[in-house]
Structure 1
């Protein structure tokens, strides 16, 4: 009997401990009141995967959705809340975590009427027609749902805010107001990504009569992609150079299509490379060899291994033989532009002499040898 009482006591203690632990480690209630004059923390993430993204302002439209709302009385959205901006005021380098900026949305922006109700606002990014090169824009729809309720002593109102994805469906009424849809964290509301690629320019020298120590002069120009403007680019950074006159870390500008300027000089020898990073897809790279007339100039037919990254880059561009020029468009992967100078020929083999006197001398020696042998045989026979 005593043993049964002991186990009953242990069981009761365990149950009390379980209940206590549940209360102690319970999460914060999902619905918490939000002051109407503070930033709701709805963020724009800017994920820079490769290269350096340009500074930019991303704008958003905020639109009241009457068909998804249960307002108190008549409600009309104020003009001031119809547009919001997330600003990135400086160029951004690639990093693991996203750069962030707030849309700056507050409940007070909407001037909600005094009375309990539920208000739904659609938030969408205004994707520009002429997108920034290298940027993938977030074209999803978010719904911000704000519920207004009386406070505990009925002297004012409290606010509840929740962000949903585009599957949001409102409840049938204020009383039965539980909505359907996937909830979205404010710090993960919208995400844009930026990426750019590298291009390596290389030189090789071949041929039995070539000067393997020679250096050849090149001109390089970077031009904007179709429909783009030069001010939409940060520029390309030199990340490797075997030409000591070209400083690693230097940023080369990307010129407008009609610009006569923007040419950069570089000198490359056998197995030398110049590598540029932060070239978004669509940028045109023009490389022209300006000397080496004694050589046959061609484009390297193979992919090239980068000295900087120790990886192979895919061959890009079209070679024009009469101008020794490659025109290449940057693609979705790292690219390589390789030049090969070849010098072959027939070497001089020395002085060429007339062989007839030597042949005659050899014939006389041979005849003399035969005569001696015959004379010796005749004496032996006598």
Structure 2
């Protein structure tokens, strides 16, 4: 009997000691109140080494839907629309989205949608994102907010809203041929870049390397929405125009002078890959005159007279004989 009593007392003491430990752990793990959420965004580059243009992404926050309150008539306070700004070449950025005050427990779900932009080469994110704010009773008559960003039909938790930038390069090579050509002659080449209808081509990231006159390169936006790239080439030049967005058409022209220019487009006139190329051949030939040179005419006439004399002497000698 004494053994059973001792065992019961030990069990009671053990359970009573565990209670405050559990309470401490629960307090330590209790979520803090979120006043804002960090919304992160990332731009993936399709091709290594490309540079994305500056861009400001706009987001709309829909009207909140309330569940789990246990009562009816609870409305969701509004969350303001927001934007995330990227500088040229920056691929990761964020904004801190401020949360409203809540006066009732529940789950408040807001749909976040990215506004479709018009930057050439940028693939905007059309996926449905949801901001879920779980409002809890803090035990002191107030409320605490816990926030989760989810995406997809299965409400998968995510930390980042992802976009993609697609751009490639155009490589222009030059060869000078012909018997009247000079390998150090230079030519001005113009590449006109035209975006698809409804798209805007930003010239900022577009660069030119390998030109014969590096200081004379020009990349500029035209009034009609195209971008003009101008540079100088000579024999054996290889010029690379980098960071041209996909689905941008290109046309190559040259001030050929007295040469005959042959421009060969190897890839169809539209950027749709990491690297595409155009070859330019400049040829200049001249005909060499193989007729009589007037400066030698007197000597030729003398030789002709000598020939006639020899023939006449030979004929007369044969007649005598």
Structure 2 vs 1, CA of residues 43 and 283 (structure 1 numbering), >3 Å: closer, same or farther? same
The answer to whether the 8 A contact 1:60-1:85 is kept is yes
1:149 deviation in Å?
Answer: 1.8
Structure 1 Cα separation of the partners of residues 58 and 234 of structure 2: 49
Residue 183 (1) aligns with residue 182 (2): no
User: 1:280-299 to 2 correspondence within 5 Å?
Assistant: 280-293=245-258, 295-299=259-263
- Say whether the 8 Å CA contact 1:224–1:257 is kept in structure 2: no
For the residues of structure 1 that align with 2:30 and 2:42, how far apart are their CA atoms? 24
| 1:45-78 Cα deviation digits (max 9, x unpaired) | 1234543322222111222453x72346533344
TM-superposition CA deviations, 1:202-250 (whole Å, max 9, x none): 211234x242424142241434413357674425212222x1x3239x6
More strand by share: 2
Cα gap change, 1:227 to 1:235, in 2 (>3 Å): farther
The match for 1:105 among 83, 97, 119 is: 97
Partner of 2:88: 91
In the alignment, what sits opposite 2:74? 75
Indicate how the Cα distance of structure 1 residues 271 and 233 shifts in structure 2: closer, same or farther if over 3 A, else same: closer
- Matching residue within 216, 220, 224 for 1:257: 224
Deviation string 1:234-276 (CA, Å, 9 cap, x unpaired) is 25212222x1x3239x6612323378x957352x222112222
* Whole-Å separation in 1 of the counterparts to 2:196 and 2:141: 61
Shift of 1:350: 8.1
For each residue in 1:330-377, what CA deviation from the matched residue of structure 2 results, as whole angstroms up to 9, or x when unmatched?
Answer: 33332222111234566456869899959x99xx9xxxxxxxxxxxxx
Shift in Å, 1:101? 1.7
CA–CA separation in structure 1 for the residues paired with 2:54 and 2:252: 29
TM-score by length of 2: 0.70
Q: Distance in 2 between matches of 1:202 and 1:210?
A: 21
Q: State the shift of 1:44 in Å.
A: 1.6
Unmatched runs of 5 consecutive residues or more in structure 2? 1-26, 294-299, 315-321
The 8 Å contact of residues 136 and 193 in structure 1, kept in 2 or not, is answered as: yes
Query: Where in structure 2 are the equivalents of 1:322-361 lying within 5 Å?
Result: 328-344=269-285, 347-348=288-289
Structure 1 residue 91 displacement after superposition: 1.6
Using the size of structure 1 for normalisation, the TM-score is 0.60
Segments of 5+ residues of structure 1 without an aligned counterpart are 1-28, 169-180, 302-314, 318-327, 365-382
> Matches of 2:132 and 2:225 in 1, distance apart?
50
Match of 1:211 among 153, 156, 181: 181
Match of 1:174 in 2: none
Aligned to 1:162: 148
CA distance in 2, matches of 1:32, 1:91: 41
**For residues 1-382 of structure 1, what are the structure 2 equivalents within 5 Å?**
33-37=31-35, 39-49=36-46, 50-66=49-65, 69-71=67-69, 73-79=72-78, 81-88=79-86, 90-92=87-89, 98-102=91-95, 104-108=96-100, 111-112=101-102, 114-128=103-117, 131-151=118-138, 153-168=139-154, 181-184=155-158, 186=159, 188=160, 190-207=161-178, 209-227=179-197, 232-234=202-204, 236-241=206-211, 243=212, 245-247=213-215, 252-257=219-224, 264-266=230-232, 268-293=233-258, 295-300=259-264, 315-316=266-267, 328-344=269-285, 347-348=288-289
Query: Equivalent residue of 2:221, what SS?
Result: coil
Distance (Å, rounded) in 2 between the aligned partners of 1:265 and 1:149: 64
Aligned residues: 272
1:12-57 CA-to-partner distances (Å, cap 9, x unmatched) read: xxxxxxxxxxxxxxxxx9x8624232x3222121234543322222
| 8 Å contact kept, 1:204–1:269 | yes
The CA distance in 1 between the partners of 2:182 and 2:133, in whole Å, is 74
